[in-house]
Amino acid sequence: MEAITLQEIARAVQASAPASLPAAPVSVVCTDTRQLVPGCLFVALKGERFDGHRFVARALAEGAAAAIIAQAQAEAVRAEVAGAGTLLVVDDTLRALGDLAGWYRSRFAIPVVGVTGSVGKTSTKEMLAAILGRRAPVVCTQANHNNEIGLPLTLFALESQHTAAVVELAMRGRGQIAYLANIARPRVGVITNIGTSHLELLGSQEAIARAKGELLEALPPDGAAVLPAADPFLPLLRSLSSAPVTTFGFAGEGSPDVAVADLMVEPTESRFTLQALGVSVSVRLPLPGRHNALNAAAAAAGALRAGATLADVAAGLEAARLPEMRMQVTRTASGITVLNDAYNASPASMAAALEHLAHLPGARRLAVLGDMLELGDGSRAGHREVGRHAAGLDLLIAVGERARDLADGAREAGMAAERVLTCDDAAAALALLRQVVQPGDAVLVKASRGMRLEIVSEGLESADG
């Protein structure tokens, strides 16, 4: 973060502040006293299970230059601080964090690429950053910093050497992406797909499409919208964008502007021809799976609209890497191939992972599949659908409250009952797997994050090693 003054901060967040503010510049914004550094700005956020106002006195005592606090807690905080520090008082500290980030982002005349979608957001974001970062440094969303707190902290990382920013936008309901986009002000908006994640919150796929489409509504007319060519909601998404639309997808599926052709999927990588701008280039993507090739097309389209060349695209995709627990392939000492995709799950991503499992070397193919959360009324049908996709495996271990639906789907599709096991949690799944797994097997581990199925993959690897 480049240095800004307390006067600038107070104006940006419309704070009530002392008439005379310290002149020392601020170059770090903190929301957690465990990460506090002297001279930072501490923003006291309040959530359901925490209240940063309880730590303002500590933050100031440990060297924070100032703290942003809420009017509702101002009297209590002032009494505790007893004049020993600078307080900036606002109506809503979370809103102030966003306002400050939006003001700070406006200091940089660089393209910001916003990425959202039901599945593939993180993979596409990482590929975009790899492409745009070929020539100069870029800022990219780290970990799960994709919400009202994480996005501002991502933008505060901007400095003069950065030539672009790639930000992931998550949502829990209508209006959230609009709020985040208002802060980030993207010039390019990428929607990976419209799936069934968040059905529990929004009720229908059309509602999900409209919520994701808030990113498109925020784009300037001279920006660019990047959309999936074969998605049933493409016409709706197009209608939400005043910016020109570029589509991506597989050649022959919906006439995409940026297309993947001649795809060859191998256990640890994918090779294909990328067609764009009337030119073709060969790509070696060190990430396996048809779905990752599609994510690569989305990233390529977004990067091209942000100013990258096709040569940048090919080189960036070859250098792309994903965070842990996303299609992470390892081989244990006894020759068991483990596909750890336990970070998150939806019916579409489950189907993609099962498809890739079929490409892995292995005497037998096993899957440990857990609950997919936030499917709402579609939960039972979604889990049965995944079970049907898994019916061709040698063994299925279904984990969690929806294990019965997964198992029923597999059996209905012809999987023998003795090849379908169910259990309550990750620890029980690991115990079952250890009893049946054999050297040479290939094992997929996947569920929503809350199921913590990384316990299974990590336990299998550590016990074997």
From the centroid of its chain, how far is CA 440? 33
User: Within this chain, do residues 138 and 278 fall inside the same structural domain, yes or no?
Assistant: yes
DSSP H or E stretch at residue 411: helix 403-412
Q: Report residue 390's pLDDT band, with 50, 70 and 90 as the boundaries.
A: very high
User: Residue 46: which domain range?
Assistant: 6-91
Structurally, the chain folds into a number of domains equal to 3
Co-location of 12 and 79 in the same domain: yes
Rounded mean pLDDT, 149-154: 97
Here the tokens at position 426 are 């990750």
Helices (H) and strands (E) in the chain, counts: 18, 19
CATH of the domain at 457: 3.90.190.20
Residue 259: inside a domain: yes
Name the pLDDT band for 344 (thresholds 50, 70, 90).
Answer: confident
Same domain, 22 and 148: no
With respect to residue 59, please indicate whether it lies within any of the assigned structural domains.
yes
Residues 231 and 211 in one domain: yes
282 — pLDDT class (breaks 50, 70, 90): very high
Domain boundary among 91, 126, 160: 91
For residues 388 and 305, membership in a common domain is answered with no
- Please enumerate in sequence order all residues whose Cβ is within 8 A of that of 449, keeping only pairs 6 or more positions apart, or say none: 342, 343, 344
The mean pLDDT of 181-188, rounded to a whole number, is: 98
> H/E element holding 298?
helix 290-305
**Per-residue confidence at 325, pLDDT binned at 50, 70, 90?**
confident
Tens digit of pLDDT for each residue in 7-18?
999 999 999 999
The pLDDT value recorded for residue 464 is 57
Place of tokens 């950065």: 162
Across-strand partners of 264? 271
Residue tagged 């007319």 (tokens): 221
**Given this model, what pLDDT does residue 463 score?**
62
- Residues 440-463 have pLDDT tens digits of 999 999 999 899 999 999 998 876
Whether 313 and 334 map to the same domain: the answer is: no
Q: What is the CATH number of the domain that holds 61?
A: 3.40.1390.10
Average pLDDT in the 268-282 region?
94
User: What average pLDDT score do residues 235-260 get?
Assistant: 97
pLDDT tops 70 at residue 90? yes
Q: Does one domain contain both 85 and 223?
A: no
